[in-house]
Structure 1
Amino acid sequence: MNHPPVVEWTEADQPRSARWRSENGTPPPRRIVVADDRTRADEAYKLACEGTALLWRGDFHNARQLLTAMARRIDRRPRKTPPADVTQAFHVHRAAQNHRARILGMLLVPLDAAYTVPLHRAPDVREACVRAYGPAEPARAEAADAAPAPGATESPEPALTLVSLRELLALIGANEWRRKGVEIPALGGDRIHPHYGVFSPARGEYVDLVAEAPLPTQELAFDIGTGTGVLATVLARRGVRRIVATDQDPRALACARENTQRLGVAGQVEVIEADLFPAGRAPLVVCNPPWVPAKPTSPVERAVYDPGSRMLYGFLSGLADHLTPDGEGWLILSDFAAHLGLRPHTELADAFAEAGLTVLDRLDIAPRHPRARDTSDPLHVARMAEVTSLWRLGPADRPAPGPC
């Protein structure tokens, strides 16, 4: 059994300890000081930049204000002129994002074993924590409720966990998204409810492509890397009688099952754990892999960033072996990486040929998200040029269909 890391600090001249939790794998801070309502933003920012974490013991709302003030100090730093080279601009942009996340992640809050924040005016975060972290541990909850031993002089707080305030606020925000859901026009306005750590279909271009492409079958389809289950649900609503939806992430599997049940297609969609393909062949195999070959820095980023394009090339290399003789593979992929210089424009065509695949047709759609129109974005040129495509693929020995 893997035990979570333990962090230690001194408070009121007494040694303290607690568990450390970070969903994005941030290592525990080496030094922690106690901060409260008297802590000034300049002091907090300086300590965070030096690698010292601040454990908040004051009013929760004041902690949020301090976090905002620290963010303003990061944003006030003189900005360098973005490199003319778009690839270098991407790496500089990612480095700046990571730096911002590291600094803001230094403001910590305590979380007890029952997922309660023991701070004045703290919100009820129990539901958000249970949905992200899983049920609270009964043994730790009992330890938190137990009275201290007679004569005890130390407060090691064995049932306490420290998390960054930034992460906790992300959990709260994700729980709101899950409650409200995301409206999907391709589903007639019905909503998909994303779980924490599962990519939200807020950018709906790829969903519209799957809703519009001509179906080669209504018998069976595979949905590879289903995520929220949105594409499997679209296929079911289009009349496909059976869809096998796969994923490796337990959160995604639970999310897809909940959404297909909520939207009344669970009888058509079987959600299973698998690395890419399920067993057997299908006349339609659909995949929307991550589109940027770079390292993710949080669980939800794995839907966008995939080092070495593992999922993309895994899908292409295995597709022919999982298609029926007249079947089609639908690859839905943005060309954003090509405009960033992270993937040669010819690489995809070469990958198709190497996998023994031919392009039967291609449907394109331009981005509609606000960032595509944000001229202050250092990656604006690449975002403006971005196109998301649905590639209809078949075996290389199959002729492409003629014009309708």
Structure 2
Amino acid sequence: MPTNLPISPEASSPAPLIHWTEGGEARSARWRSERGAAPPKRVVIADDSLSADAAYRLACEGTGLLWRGDFQNARMLVQALARRVDKPAKPKRDKRVKAQKAGEAAEAIAPVEALAPVFPEAFHLHRQAQAQRARVLSMVLIPFDADYSIPLRRAPDAKKACAEAWGPAKEANGSSVASLRELMGFISAHEWRRKGVPIPALGEDGPHNRIHPHYGVFSPVRGEYIDLVAQAPVPEGTADLLGFDIGTGTGVLAAVLALRSGVQRVIATDQDPRALACARDNLKRLGFPQIEVREADLFPEGRAHIIVCNPPWLPARPGSPVEHAVYDEDSRMLLGFLNGLAAHLEPKGEGWLILSDFAEHLGLRTRAWLLAAIDAAGLKVVDRLDAQPHHPKAADASDALHAARAAEVTSLWRLAAK
């Protein structure tokens, strides 16, 4: 799945400052936020003596808690805040029982398609709740020295993880402050990058079938869409096939495509610097000299026999830079791919569109809309390969969007010019 992430605001505009009072003196430092959040307007000093309930009240008010205590206690505080955010409201018992019985009856007699009209509202409420959760948990703040070291007791060495997300440390930038939650995201991403994600479609040899996602680039942990590219029939007629991978991200689909019989060369494109660096790093490590990575908005010049695209699956506005891998506002990338595909296909060539129908089950897009868009772009459907996802959320009945996730199907649409 592509990233299409914008460059961090810090790279193109003066760094914002966060202000607070400590020891009777006014202080400030550089504010860092990968998701582009503004610094809290009010900041108080917090340490191990702050109770979770008091911290929760302050965080809900939008007050930043600049931590001066033990680092591991700060992590535990974030966990305590998460438990308070996630604690469901307790409706009266009779209403709860009636609602549960009504829901069970509805699911027993109605297919998912019949329930679709209620999903858009549930989806938007879910996103609002997730955004509010993120705001509250992001109020625990951590100080950093100029070299990204953390001046707190029992703090980890996160210099490499920070450098992978923020870029090389510069002494001239001085000290800074960021959300502990964001830092934990950096550390998690660093571990994914260090260990890599095994991709069976790239072979059985463990050290040589791993993709190492960089921070901010979508990790290929959902294997069903990769398997579809590995299994789809290759167009016949020539043994010297050229492939395009549009929005390459980590480069995983370009690598899988290059292994297909008859494919001699692949051009992988993306417009995000992180994705381009990630794809080049992975493809060099895996040994794919026949794959060229180019910076481009969708298509490179020329025509190809197979053009693969795995656009973001949900037509909604991203709430942060990293969400560009999931949300495609107004279906811009999807429509850009469809509308430009015919002009870039060789005769008898195919475009392989990889798309989940999750948006259809949420009521955000209809199958009729997708088919109309394909037809309007001068394309026809040759075939469709389907796969059921196996990610944990599909089996989590407590998830707010469980009904839609359980019904989800990921498809590879084989498209050709009319």
Task: Name the residue aligned to 1:214.
Answer: 233
Question: How many Å separate the matches in 1 of 2:402 and 2:162?
Answer: 36
Among residues 333, 349, 357, which one is paired with 1:335 in the alignment?
A: 357
Deviations 1:319-350 (A, max 9, x none): 01111122111100001000000002211100
Task: Name the residue aligned to 1:278.
Answer: 300
Look up the SS of the partner of 1:293 in the other structure. coil
* Cα displacement (A) at 1:222: 0.5
* Cα displacement (A) at 1:381: 1.0
Among residues 127, 138, 146, which one is paired with 2:160 in the alignment?
A: 127
Q: Percent identity?
A: 64
Among residues 180, 197, 201, which one is paired with 2:216 in the alignment?
A: 197
Question: How many Å separate the matches in 2 of 1:220 and 1:324?
Answer: 9
Question: How many Å separate the matches in 2 of 1:282 and 1:188?
Answer: 25
Deviations 1:281-339 (A, max 9, x none): 11111100001011222333211111101100000001011111221111000010000
Among residues 272, 278, 300, which one is paired with 1:249 in the alignment?
A: 272
Among residues 16, 30, 33, which one is paired with 1:5 in the alignment?
A: 16
Among residues 176, 188, 206, which one is paired with 1:161 in the alignment?
A: 176
* Cα displacement (A) at 1:250: 0.7
Look up the SS of the partner of 1:235 in the other structure. helix
Task: Name the residue aligned to 1:263.
Answer: 286
Matches within 5 A, 1:53-132: 53-78=64-89, 85-132=118-165
Task: Name the residue aligned to 1:369.
Answer: 391
Among residues 201, 204, 208, which one is paired with 1:186 in the alignment?
A: 201
Question: How many Å separate the matches in 2 of 1:235 and 1:340?
Answer: 31
Residue 318 (str. 1) matches residue 321 (str. 2): no
Question: How many Å separate the matches in 2 of 1:366 and 1:199?
Answer: 20
Task: Name the residue aligned to 1:32.
Answer: 43
Look up the SS of the partner of 1:241 in the other structure. strand
Deviations 1:124-173 (A, max 9, x none): 00110111111111433xxxxxxxxxxxxxxxxxx111100000000000
- TM-score, length basis structure 1: 0.91
Task: Name the residue aligned to 2:111.
Answer: none
Unaligned runs of 5+ in 2: 1-11, 92-98, 104-114
Question: How many Å separate the matches in 2 of 1:295 and 1:113?
Answer: 34
Question: How many Å separate the matches in 1 of 2:383 and 2:69?
Answer: 60
Among residues 298, 304, 309, which one is paired with 2:331 in the alignment?
A: 309
Question: How many Å separate the matches in 1 of 2:321 and 2:216?
Answer: 5
Task: Name the residue aligned to 1:172.
Answer: 187
Look up the SS of the partner of 1:286 in the other structure. strand
Residue 51 (str. 1) matches residue 62 (str. 2): yes
Task: Name the residue aligned to 2:107.
Answer: none
Question: How many Å separate the matches in 1 of 2:361 and 2:354?
Answer: 17
Look up the SS of the partner of 1:343 in the other structure. coil
Greater helix content: 2
Look up the SS of the partner of 1:87 in the other structure. helix
Residue 295 (str. 1) matches residue 317 (str. 2): yes
Look up the SS of the partner of 1:10 in the other structure. strand
Unaligned runs of 5+ in 1: 141-158, 397-404
Question: How many Å separate the matches in 2 of 1:223 and 1:346?
Answer: 26
* Cα displacement (A) at 1:375: 1.1
Question: How many Å separate the matches in 1 of 2:398 and 2:53?
Answer: 27
RMSD: 1.5
* Cα displacement (A) at 1:79: 6.4
Q: Is the Cα contact below 8 Å between 2:247 and 2:270 reproduced in 1?
A: yes
Question: How many Å separate the matches in 2 of 1:22 and 1:297?
Answer: 13
Structure with the greater relative contact order (CA < 8 A, sep ≥ 6): 1 or 2? 2
* Cα displacement (A) at 1:77: 4.1
Look up the SS of the partner of 2:416 in the other structure. strand
Deviates further, 288-297 or 211-220: 211-220
Question: How many Å separate the matches in 2 of 1:276 and 1:19?
Answer: 35
Residues 79, 90 of structure 1: CA spacing in aligned structure 2 closer, same or farther, 3 A cutoff? farther
Look up the SS of the partner of 1:206 in the other structure. helix
The ranges of structure 1 where at least 4 consecutive aligned residues each deviate by more than 3 angstroms after the TM superposition are 79-84
Task: Name the residue aligned to 1:153.
Answer: none
Deviations 1:204-235 (A, max 9, x none): 11000000001126521100000000000001
Deviations 1:65-88 (A, max 9, x none): 111111111122416779971111
Question: How many Å separate the matches in 1 of 2:417 and 2:254?
Answer: 23
Deviations 1:73-129 (A, max 9, x none): 112241677997111111111111111000001110011110111111100001101
Task: Name the residue aligned to 1:137.
Answer: 170
Look up the SS of the partner of 1:242 in the other structure. strand
Paired AA for residue 287 in structure 1: C
Paired AA for residue 30 in structure 1: K
Paired AA for residue 219 in structure 2: S
